[in-house]
Structure 1
Amino acid sequence: MSAQRAITQIEASQAMPADVPLRRIGLGGLLAATARRHPDRIAVIDPADKPDWSGRPAITWTYAAASEIVERLARGLRSWRLPPGSRIGLCLPGSAESALAILAVEAAGHVACLLPVSWDEDRLLAAAQGVALSAILTQARLGSAAPAERMCAVAARYFGLRYLAAFGPDVPDGVINLDRFVLDGPAEAAGGSPPAPAGIVTFVGGDPDRPVYRSGPSVVAAAAAHLAAARVAPSERILSLIGPHDLRGLVTGLGAALVAGATLEAMPLFDGAAFAATLRRPVPTHLVAPAFLERNLAGRDLPAELRSITLVHRAPARFPGRSRVPGGPQALRLDTVIDTMAFDETAILSGRRGSPGDLALVLGKPERLALPPSLMRLHRGIDGRLAFRGQACAATTLQRGSRQDALGETWHDTPYAAVLFAGLATAIDMAPTDTALAGTVPSPEAPASPESVASA
């Protein structure tokens, strides 16, 4: 599915009521669809320095090759005989293994739980217990760290962990070698219909005690909403400096690439010289970077092949000054700059600077949000608190490992409010805590005020 196709679907569904779900498809279904139509298109590119910090070769995967490897990994996971919908932790850097593992867990009918590689043993243990993980996939080596050995220590303290596996080399004793899943013969077609995408679990603010679940179609919907602003074309490259450890990294990276039929190249470990060389590769590129890097990029001569820069903010955050004067202190010498705001693990909101979808305009006046209501709606309560509705933000908190499916027609409140000046948002801050103003989000059946609800 291309970005243009995704945008066409968005435009075609403008009149769709908010409670009509979009097509139920997961990330793996998108990979398989592109692999059938464009098998030689590049799907994932490993960074050139990967052998230095992982001991594994840097590989460029076509869509066809990636689809085959995903099925081989999924076949190995299915051999574990876990109940459908089991939670499998993924503690991997943002390299090809991470992308393929996420897709393989989905293809096996399980829930991928994204565990940041920066977590220590205690946080990993808290997440494993709270989410009730049945298995963990990790990597033997990451620079000077040994994630697989750290997971062995977690397994010794948490007896609910039935399987522990890692990509090599030097996989510790007692840990399943995932490379053997890939190398052990040709992929076999799974019997019957593929399982429905079971979804993912991420953690609010990197807190292992705050897990959030969302369905596979909700992840795809969030990526489609982001692409309405990013407009990545098929065969173009997304160069991401943000790992897929939470919703913002997953949506702007792997999710956006698969929805657009584009290429994903990630840099899990940032190196300035390597980044400069990778950025200047002669291929149409969309850079995804943490918002704080804007000052480093401002005023620099950027490659002609760079189509856009997506600057990813995480609420609470302040929007930087936006001088568009040539040579100005905050002037990015690029026509297309996209601001993306992550509202914890609830919603990802993206908008092009200087366009009608600029986040400063949309957050100042929510009815400007130009997305179909089935995909995303935005509401500002009496106390300024922002809430989201639609399939792109259908998430629910896990309570002691149990969940209820989040519905797109439910309003999802956030603790954040926009700081406004002259009708424009200059920042996102915590909303007032006055209990008299709390709970002002209307029910799905309540009539929407045109001054406060976006229903474009």
Structure 2
Amino acid sequence: MKGASQGTPDAASHETPADAPLRRISLGSLLSATARRHPDRIAVVDPADKPDWSDRPAITWTYAAAAEIVERLARGLRSWRLPPGSRIGLCLPGSAESALAILAVEAAGHVACLLPVSWDEDRLLAAAQNVALSAVLTQARLGSAAPAERLCAVAARYFGLRYLAAFGPDVPDGVINLDRFVLDGPAGEPAGPAPAAAGIVSFIGGDPEQPVYRSGESVVAAAAAHLVAMRVAPAERILSLIGPHDLRGLATGLAAALVAGATLETLPLFDGAAFATALRRPGPTHLVAPAFLEKNLAGRDLPTDLRSVALVHRAPVRFPSRSRAVDRSQGLRLETVIDTVAFDETAILSGRRGTTGDLSLVLGKPERLALPAALMSMRRGADDRLAFRGQACTVTPLQRGNRQAIPSGMWQETPYAPVLFAGFATAIEVVEPSASAGSPKIFAPA
């Protein structure tokens, strides 16, 4: 994160934040509220092929059942001798266990640290040291990999890791079995009120040397901003191909589902046949997919009840040419497509194609961003780099586990600037602070 941008007032979407702060709310409180009102509504759906790569059954969880399991896990975590706000790593694929573990760590008053399950031992060790992890929750088996054994090797090299726990059969010796933990763990109500939610830690660009902290309220706000474009209704389904390993996966998946009161189904290990089966399951569906799959999706005969497709890009990016043909029997219908851009771990920006919220328009003129200023504001600085502020993009870097103090209301600069043609954004490029407008263009498909 860099200092405040010096852009002119007319380059900002909403220069003055709203006077009243947004309501403070957590992911767990959203789960509990829906569980009370609609206990039988489906919350999380495991992929059908889960037994093949995890030796665990595929389970469909109602909101009531998910809330109960989250509380059981949270009680167990609160029984560990950890001070409030301790950092607990989550090295899990995007299955139901990931969602329940994130919510349980929050309910226990600790900080969930999102560790990509693909990381090797050295990257996991670097993350543990940089964030000062006290515990990690993982899984015994993931295909041919054994994440729990990998983390045992990390624990042997990093003595600050006090607790290591895993879901699944054949949990290694010395590792707490979370399945047993849920079934036989502490019962009854906790003594005293549940601790306050403590937020999450993620890593810029998947780099264990660049951790950042975000409050639970900021996660909810990022999901709410995304849902303005995606328009997910209660009880509809979000089918996500992106795991909750960073802001883009969390805000467009689990957090979006909880804010909307919807169902979340994820496919942690992509398989074409499994994806086709999941996509054709009856019911209104909203697909979240990496942007590079757009051409593949455009060639498929998609279900008529597919309400939207969020194509998730990572900045820097070149936007594809936009086909506005809407009368074809196959392919993506223009009105269903949402472009979502992740600006590292700072912000998620979403816009529906062919509307006033189309990102090609909004990035060209940030004042077109139609969101409450307290939620998210955007502006371009003197060098055209984009900066964000608001609750949806409130994030602070960590240095050796400690948060840097950033004044409230400060603009969060990014190294990215839109490439404009006739006032429309055709790409987002990297611009170094001292570089001229003709800096090299480096693009990524997603």
Match of 1:425 in 2: 425
Match of 2:86 in 1: 86
CA 1:40/1:15 → structure 2, altered by over 3 Å: closer, same or farther? Answer: farther
Q: Normalising by structure 2, report the TM-score.
A: 0.92
Match of 1:11 in 2: none
Match of 2:379 in 1: 379
Match of 1:292 in 2: 292
Match of 2:18 in 1: 18
CA 1:293/1:36 → structure 2, altered by over 3 Å: closer, same or farther? Answer: same
Match of 1:240 in 2: 240
Q: Normalising by structure 1, report the TM-score.
A: 0.90
CA 1:334/1:367 → structure 2, altered by over 3 Å: closer, same or farther? Answer: closer
User: Residues 302 and 334 of structure 1 are in contact (CA less than 8 Å); yes or no, is this contact kept in structure 2?
Assistant: no
Look up the SS of the partner of 1:335 in the other structure.
helix
Match of 2:282 in 1: 282
1:434, distance to aligned residue in structure 2 (A): 1.5
Percent of matched pairs sharing the same residue: 81
Look up the SS of the partner of 1:229 in the other structure.
helix
Q: Name which of structure 1's ranges 231-240 and 316-325 shifts more when overlaid on structure 2.
A: 316-325
Superimposed CA distance per residue, residues 351-394 of structure 1 (whole angstroms, 9 cap, x where no aligned partner): 00011011110000000000000000001001011000100000
Look up the SS of the partner of 1:398 in the other structure.
strand
Alignment of 1:297-446 (within 5 A): 297-325=297-325, 332-333=332-333, 335-404=335-404, 409-434=409-434
Look up the SS of the partner of 2:403 in the other structure.
coil
CA 1:331/1:363 → structure 2, altered by over 3 Å: closer, same or farther? Answer: farther
CA 1:15/1:34 → structure 2, altered by over 3 Å: closer, same or farther? Answer: farther
Match of 2:33 in 1: 33
Look up the SS of the partner of 1:134 in the other structure.
strand
Superimposed CA distance per residue, residues 386-432 of structure 1 (whole angstroms, 9 cap, x where no aligned partner): 00010000001001100146565111010100011110111111014
Look up the SS of the partner of 2:378 in the other structure.
strand
AA paired with 2:382?
I
Look up the SS of the partner of 1:83 in the other structure.
coil
AA paired with 1:123?
R
User: Residues 76 and 185 of structure 2 are in contact (CA less than 8 Å); yes or no, is this contact kept in structure 1?
Assistant: no
Q: Distance in 2 between matches of 1:15 and 1:258?
A: 30
Q: Name which of structure 1's ranges 22-31 and 88-97 shifts more when overlaid on structure 2.
A: 22-31
Superimposed CA distance per residue, residues 46-96 of structure 1 (whole angstroms, 9 cap, x where no aligned partner): 000000000000000000000000000001101112000000000000000
AA paired with 1:313?
H
AA paired with 1:243?
G
Q: Distance in 2 between matches of 1:214 and 1:289?
A: 23
1:190, distance to aligned residue in structure 2 (A): 2.8
Q: Distance in 2 between matches of 1:19 and 1:403?
A: 26
Look up the SS of the partner of 2:415 in the other structure.
strand
Look up the SS of the partner of 2:133 in the other structure.
coil
AA paired with 1:153?
A
User: Residues 214 and 406 of structure 1 are in contact (CA less than 8 Å); yes or no, is this contact kept in structure 2?
Assistant: no
Q: Distance in 2 between matches of 1:114 and 1:172?
A: 22
User: Residues 130 and 401 of structure 1 are in contact (CA less than 8 Å); yes or no, is this contact kept in structure 2?
Assistant: yes
Q: Distance in 2 between matches of 1:247 and 1:30?
A: 18
Q: Name which of structure 1's ranges 193-202 and 370-379 shifts more when overlaid on structure 2.
A: 193-202
Look up the SS of the partner of 1:348 in the other structure.
strand
Match of 2:95 in 1: 95
1:241, distance to aligned residue in structure 2 (A): 0.1
User: Residues 43 and 63 of structure 1 are in contact (CA less than 8 Å); yes or no, is this contact kept in structure 2?
Assistant: yes
Q: Distance in 1 between matches of 2:227 and 2:262?
A: 12
Alignment of 1:141-156 (within 5 A): 141-156=141-156
Match of 2:120 in 1: 120
Match of 1:451 in 2: none
Superimposed CA distance per residue, residues 320-348 of structure 1 (whole angstroms, 9 cap, x where no aligned partner): 010112588x9523531100000000000
1:436, distance to aligned residue in structure 2 (A): 9.1
1:193, distance to aligned residue in structure 2 (A): 2.9
Q: Distance in 1 between matches of 2:234 and 2:326?
A: 31
Stretches of structure 1 lacking an aligned partner (at least 5 in a row): 1-13, 438-456
Q: Distance in 2 between matches of 1:300 and 1:333?
A: 12
Match of 1:50 in 2: 50
1:15, distance to aligned residue in structure 2 (A): 12
Look up the SS of the partner of 1:355 in the other structure.
coil
Aligned residue pairs, count? 424
Q: Distance in 1 between matches of 2:95 and 2:331?
A: 31
Match of 2:63 in 1: 63
Match of 1:10 in 2: none
User: Residues 221 and 391 of structure 1 are in contact (CA less than 8 Å); yes or no, is this contact kept in structure 2?
Assistant: yes
Which structure is higher in RCO with an 8 Å CA cutoff and minimum separation 6? 2
Q: Distance in 2 between matches of 1:326 and 1:42?
A: 33
CA 1:25/1:190 → structure 2, altered by over 3 Å: closer, same or farther? Answer: farther
Look up the SS of the partner of 1:350 in the other structure.
strand
Match of 2:260 in 1: 260
C-alpha RMSD of matched pairs (Å): 1.9
1:185, distance to aligned residue in structure 2 (A): 5.9
User: Residues 308 and 334 of structure 1 are in contact (CA less than 8 Å); yes or no, is this contact kept in structure 2?
Assistant: no
User: Residues 56 and 168 of structure 2 are in contact (CA less than 8 Å); yes or no, is this contact kept in structure 1?
Assistant: yes
User: Residues 302 and 331 of structure 2 are in contact (CA less than 8 Å); yes or no, is this contact kept in structure 1?
Assistant: no
Q: Distance in 2 between matches of 1:341 and 1:351?
A: 9
CA 1:313/1:408 → structure 2, altered by over 3 Å: closer, same or farther? Answer: farther
AA paired with 2:189?
A
Match of 2:4 in 1: none
AA paired with 2:87?
R
CA 1:373/1:407 → structure 2, altered by over 3 Å: closer, same or farther? Answer: farther
Match of 2:443 in 1: none
Q: Distance in 1 between matches of 2:355 and 2:435?
A: 36
Stretches of structure 2 lacking an aligned partner (at least 5 in a row): 1-13, 438-446
User: Residues 19 and 409 of structure 1 are in contact (CA less than 8 Å); yes or no, is this contact kept in structure 2?
Assistant: no
Q: Distance in 2 between matches of 1:19 and 1:418?
A: 30
